[in-house]
Amino acid sequence: MSERIFTADLFSHLISLWRFVIIPLIPKGPVRCLEIGSYEGKASSWILDSIVKNHSDSRLDCVDLWRGLEEQERLFDTNIASESQVTKFKDFSVNFLAPLVTQPPMYDFMYIDGDHRGEVLFTDLCLAWRCLKKKGVMAVVHYLPDGIENSDVPSPRVAIDSFLKIHKSEIRLLEKSRHLIVQKRAVPLGGQE
């Protein structure tokens, strides 16, 4: 593959944290990964190169609407979409996730960086959580975003805190700073297998 091209780097600052926290928790063998909000494919590239390409049967599903982002979608297509282990879904995340909640959980790793409006993010988190396998890992961007707290739109933090409260017994908290990383417990706290 030729060199990947990006006009913005909204991801590299997470790489050292992800290598330390996420990589040791990824199962050996084939894995299935989901990215909601792919933009130009910078995070997708890292997930592909660091997780998915470790096994020929691993997959990465990338979901983004790319509404008004034709240049970013073109770059994503150039950078990532031609990779055989990647499937691109151009749609609202809810349209992608909703049909999956009736199936057994399929994802080992998820990165949620789509719509940052609180009500949309909350929906993404709840639907995606139902698609995450036990011991699966979910990373969420913008727990403490810049400049969104004072707007009239519910912030990502409100959505994430609500999600964490509802699923508290199922979550192993791995990182909660500017970003959130959680693991789905094999057995909920106080529960039985």
Architecture of the domain spanning 119-193: Orthogonal Bundle (1.10)
Q: Where are the domains of the chain?
A: 119-193
Which residue spans within the chain are E strands per DSSP?
Answer: 32-36, 59-64, 86-90, 107-112, 132-140, 171-176, 180-184
- What string of pLDDT tens digits covers the 193 residues of the chain? 568 889 988 899 999 999 999 999 999 999 999 999 999 999 999 999 999 999 999 999 999 999 889 999 999 999 987 799 999 999 999 999 999 999 999 999 999 999 888 889 999 999 999 999 999 999 998 776 555 555 666 678 889 999 999 999 999 999 998 889 999 998 777 665 5
Both tokens assigned to 123: 């929906």
Q: With beta carbons less than 8 A apart as the criterion, state whether 62 and 44 touch.
A: yes
Residue 103 CA: distances (Å) to CA of 18, 31, 53, 100, 132: 28, 17, 25, 5, 11
Tokens for 60?
């990465």
